[in-house]
């Protein structure tokens, strides 16, 4: 059974930074593409960034140059470093295993950016 536990969210002022973490279990972590999604109130869940087992990355246009996804395969953990945060980044952030259907989800971690 896949389990995902996100952490690191919080309240931050615009321009600030946060680092999110997601610990995965129940999978062979190193071979899986991992992704970060976010869902703002009233909006659909959207893909923010993804990373392959070997470290190739891709980002939504809205976060390019500000967010960095990384992973530590020895710790079964994927990270999302978020810099230059904007109020529109406010959302619940979730990680997932991109290749599994349905996508497994953790409880998410709330990021609130104040202006």
- At 3-28, the pLDDT tens digits run 999 999 999 999 999 999 999 999 99
Spatial separation of the C-alpha atoms in residues 53 and 74, rounded to whole Å: 12
Q: What local confidence, expressed as pLDDT, does residue 100 receive? A: 92
Give the pairing of strands 10-13 and 109-114: parallel
Q: What local confidence, expressed as pLDDT, does residue 102 receive? A: 92
Say if CB 78 and CB 86 are below 8 A apart: no
Residues of the chain with pLDDT under 70: none
Q: What local confidence, expressed as pLDDT, does residue 61 receive? A: 98
- At 104, list the tokens: 């497994």
């Amino acid at each position: 059974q896949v389990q995902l536990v996100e952490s690191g969210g919080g309240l931050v002022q615009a321009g600030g930074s946060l680092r999110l973490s997601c610990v995965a279990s129940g999978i062979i972590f190193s071979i899986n593409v991992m992704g970060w999604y976010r869902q703002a109130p009233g909006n659909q869940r959207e893909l923010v960034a993804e990373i392959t087992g070997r470290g190739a990355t891709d980002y939504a246009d809205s976060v390019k140059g500000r967010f960095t996804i990384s992973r530590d395969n020895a710790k079964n953990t994927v990270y999302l470093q978020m810099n230059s945060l904007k109020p529109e980044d406010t959302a619940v952030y979730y990680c997932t295993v991109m290749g599994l259907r349905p996508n497994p989800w953790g409880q998410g971690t709330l990021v609130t950016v104040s202006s």
